[in-house]
Chains A and B, each alone.
Chain A
Amino acid sequence: MQRVIDKVKELLANGVADRVLAWKVGEFPYDRIPGVFKDDLDGLCYDSFSACNLSKYLINETKKDGRVLVLMKPCDSYGVNLLIKEHRIDREKIYILAVPCNCKVDIEKIKDSGIKGIIDIAEEGDVLKINTVYGQKELDRRQVLCDKCLSCQGKKHVIYDEIIEDDEQQNIEKTDRMEAVEELEAMSPEERFAFWRSELSKCIRCNACRNVCPACSCNKCIFDNTDTGVAAKSNADSFEENMFHIIRAFHVAGRCTDCGECSRVCPQNIPLHLLNRKFIKEINELYGEFQAGEDAVTTGPLTFFTMEDAEPDVVYKKGRD
């Protein structure tokens, strides 16, 4: 995306910031690693594989001197608002360049389609031309988009200083993000329990979901704190497998921006976003529509109290349904 690189150069030359947080090319044609560039923009890349959410990196970046220019996808911009609201980053120290997004491609899905030994990937419209050691392959990019993109909340950036407008046509079919949650709700409690057990029993407690999450920004997570008595590096039994995720889901309730990173990074393909979306759905129903990170000021529904709030007995009533 030459447009993006040119804009970054221009902004740096104008002195809006002294460095830029963006994506860097890596070993493979699909590796896009979060990275900071100063004068040399070599390797800076924004394309179909720039899926990582950069917002959380701003916590460390804004601890440094100077100002950082950051490239933001629409979904990542919610994380920025959340982090500003929670006083985790200093708005003054960032300059946000909003970049358009036409959905990201999931390399795992490419590989799951049976394509191995990838040497090079070229994009022509919706066609991915993939050169492999086993020959030339082609795929329709729409078949291998990241799950998070299939149900993304739109192409609007909720915070930015400058924007590069979208000039591409969107032709991606979206699914309703609550569809899968509703499927789970339709199950019997036993079925639902079995579903979550089969998923969570795969968890290896690598903490990737937690560490990538812009809402998980505690300086020391309770699960890492040896003084709490609940610190754990592995799941010894099913109770611990469930507990880690239940606690995490509760802790990010009302704060999860639904950026989809947790599920994207899970090495075991656990659909963690379904837990968080269930919370989002419940919150919307009980307190009215709320989107975490929509802005950096509105108090979240779970962090203040009104007389109209749902009574705790909704839990019992729900449980009986």
Chain B
Amino acid sequence: MLRLSADKLDKLFSAISDAKELYLPVEENGSSKFDKWSEETQVNLNRLNTVKSPKDLFFPQSEDLMRFKKEGKKITVDTPDENCKEFVVFGVRACDVKSIEVLDRVFLSEPVDTYYESKRKAATIVSLACSEPEESCFCNIFGIDATEPAADVSTWLADDYLYWEAKTEKGEALTESIKSVFEQAEDTSAVDAQKENVKAIIEKLPLSGLNLDYFKNNDMMDIFNSEKWDELYEACLGCGTCTFVCPTCQCYDIRDYDTGHGIVRYRCWDSCMYSDFTLMAGGQPRTTQKERFRQRFMHKLVYFPMNNDGEFSCVGCGRCVNKCPVRLNIAKVIRALGGEV
């Protein structure tokens, strides 16, 4: 393991961004997001979850897919350059690292989504272990270890040092390119102590006891038809907050836009909470908010695992828990449907 004094983080950031673009959690104007580093950016490594997740870097909220232009009888089709410049994302929490694995399952399985793939290939992900989880965190129930985040490089901020450990070839290559900023960490007991401490805290968190057995062991249609949905959805405003802040929500809409000089075909995030989600010639298959609400949670807790070797597509980051305007959330759904310990 390598380390660097925490007051020299700027040196690390500048070393990384000498070669590649660097994105990290930035505080800006009452909000937070993964943004490009420069000497002026206000980096905040204390915040656990940025409002929008790092998903944006791989699967932006709005993205042009192609442009059409008609001249006489000739139609030209332009696609954007898919060679994405290499970049580094720093400070990704364990839950968000896992969320990228969830997205990989969707976008990198056949047929591969080349727009996503180009960005994903270009990225080196540096994770940061959590030192102070919040009450809205429940990554542990999905088997995620907040103290041992995966990714290309894992890091820990403990006792005024940043500890750094490369985990993959990409991670090794990044480490090699900036190794002059580090020193060898002879003693890593601070990391071990933090891990133990955080594990104990996670046990005490109010959501850490949620149980997913109900979703693993019951028939899809029984869950779908549960009477509990009637009460659960009641307060839902049908906004898209929970879907747009979620690091794993992956649905998008594709539309054509007439710019007056041609047509742009773009895609943008969609939300199953919206009235025109999956709208087709025959109408909208989910005509009530109850059905839309149910869709979001059935997808995360039932449909996705059915198609993906039992992997849930919620990572317990707690963003929807914190941001729902009326404080509905997936934790409540899990508990209400039968996830009580």
Contact = CB atoms under 8 A, between A and B. Distances in A.
Interface in A203-255: 204-208, 210-212, 220, 224, 226, 231-236
B270 A233 contact: yes
Interface in B178-234: 201, 204-207, 231, 234
A31 interface: yes
The SS class assigned to the A binding surface is: loop
Given A204-B244, A235-B62, A117 B132 contact: yes
B237 A226 contact: no
A269 interface: yes
Interface string B130-162: 001111100000000000000000000000000
A267 B327 contact: no
Nearest to B268: A234
B327 A31 contact: yes
Contact of B240 (A34, A205, A231, A265): A205
A186 interface: no
A210 B331 CA distance: 25
Interface string B230-265: 010011011111001100000001000100000000
B52 A204 contact: yes
Contacts of A199: 29
B323 to A, nearest CB: 4
A233 B268 contact: yes
Contact of B31 (A26, A27, A269): A269
The SS class assigned to the B binding surface is: loop
Contacts of A211: 237-239, 325
Contacts of A155: none
B314 to A, nearest CB: 15
A207 B240 contact: yes
B54 to A, nearest CB: 15
Contacts of B30: 202, 268-269
Contact of B327 (A33, A118, A232): A33
Contacts of B201: 117, 133-134
Interface residues of A, number: 46
Contacts of A111: 134
A93 B133 CA distance: 46
A218 to B, nearest CB: 12
B116 interface: no
B115 interface: no
A212 B29 contact: no
Interface stretch (B70-78, B166-174, B271-279): B271-279
Contact of B61 (A24, A36, A116, A234): A234
Nearest to A229: B258
Contact of B134 (A52, A116, A236): A116
B241 A33 contact: no
B276 A27 contact: no
Interface string B306-340: 00000000000000010101111101100100000
A35 B329 contact: no
A220 B275 contact: yes
A132 B96 CA distance: 24
Contacts of A27: 206-207, 321, 327, 329, 331-332, 335
Given A119-B206, A211-B237, A33 B244 contact: no
B240 to A, nearest CB: 5
Contacts of A52: 235, 325-326
A117 B134 contact: yes
A31 B321 CA distance: 10
Of listed B231, B239, B323, residue having the most chain A CB within 10 A: B239
B68 interface: no
Given A211-B239, A211-B325, A269-B31, 20 more contacts: A27-B332, A28-B327, A34-B326, A116-B132, A116-B133, A116-B134, A117-B133, A117-B204, A133-B205, A205-B61, A207-B239, A207-B241, A226-B276, A233-B271, A261-B325, A265-B241, A267-B245, A267-B323, A268-B31, A269-B30
